[in-house]
Amino acid sequence: MPLLCHLHQLQRHGLEFRGELSVAELGLENVDELIHFRHPLHYDLRVELVGRTVLVNGCLQMMLDCECARCLKPFQEELCLKQWSIQLPLEGQEQVPIQRDSVDLTPLIREDAVLALPQHPLCRPDCVGLTRQSSGGTQEVLGGQSCGDQSSAWAELSRLKL
């Protein structure tokens, strides 16, 4: 069920919305291959009518099941937009769609939640990536250097003499 805000009710006083939206309601099923959405998004919002604009502010929270972009280990991370706010004009070129005297907040919440996702989820900031056991019993970083190694692909290109 979408999160609908009835404009007629807003004319009298502001409204409080608390609840959750499922992954299916938000349409987040196939957004990112390293982030899996298995938990609902919780919202705590205050909605007010200010002139011909709907003002929404509050908090959005969701647990994400992620895979590390470096080592592929699973981990959980919380998506938390503590001071989320949005202004929805009821007139003009950027007017929000109104259906049956209601504004659907669901697509707006989805858009901002997707924009707040980590681009490269890491299990921890100093993750060195995939490792394998060498014959000597030590761990060896696969796919190049470890995070502590300061050389980069750009440094290697700078060494080329053309």
Span 6-41, pLDDT tens digits? 888 888 788 899 999 999 999 888 888 899 999 999
pLDDT at 133: 60
Cβ-contact 35, 121 below 8 angstroms? yes
Cβ-contact 36, 72 below 8 angstroms? no
- With tokens 């209601």, the residue in question is 102
53-82: pLDDT as tens digits: 999 999 999 999 999 999 999 999 999 999
Of the pLDDT bands very low, low, confident and very high (cuts 50, 70, 90), residue 157 is confident
pLDDT at 58: 95
